[in-house]
Amino acid sequence: MRVAIVYPPKSRKMEAIVEAISSSSKEAGHQVQQIRAVRGVGIKSLFSYDLVYVGSPVMGLWGGKFSEEIASFIRECSGLEGKKVAVFVIPKMLGVSKAIKRLMALLEKQGSIIIDFRRIRNLSEARAFGQRLSRKILSQN
């Protein structure tokens, strides 16, 4: 199965979490591609992937927002229609639920099917999220 992990590239913590999800998915036998959401650069279609993870740190003074790079990537990207998507955020003190809801709403507007979502605080939570989703997807196929 082909898995994509889309994330903004500005945070070491995000990079580490993406790597943890990636390695747990690879251990389950999936092909994984990490995609940095940089405006105007990189992949513009997610059509060829069976599962797409979309991650962002919670942004804004009071939280409740997600990365503008992710928002731009999602708006410009094709191949999200009917795509299974899992959303994750790196939390702040406030606004985690609102950020997740906003990110899911944008993905659903593009036609994605949200199959799971999580706040991920550390690497063990990231590995567990990747393992759980890998099992879930394998059992559906």
Confidence of residue 38 (pLDDT cuts 50, 70, 90): confident
CA 11 – CA 13 distance, rounded (Å): 5
Q: What is the extent of the structural domain holding 128?
A: 2-140
Confidence of residue 141 (pLDDT cuts 50, 70, 90): low
Number of domains in the chain: 1
This prediction's pTM: 0.93
Q: How many residues does the chain have?
A: 141
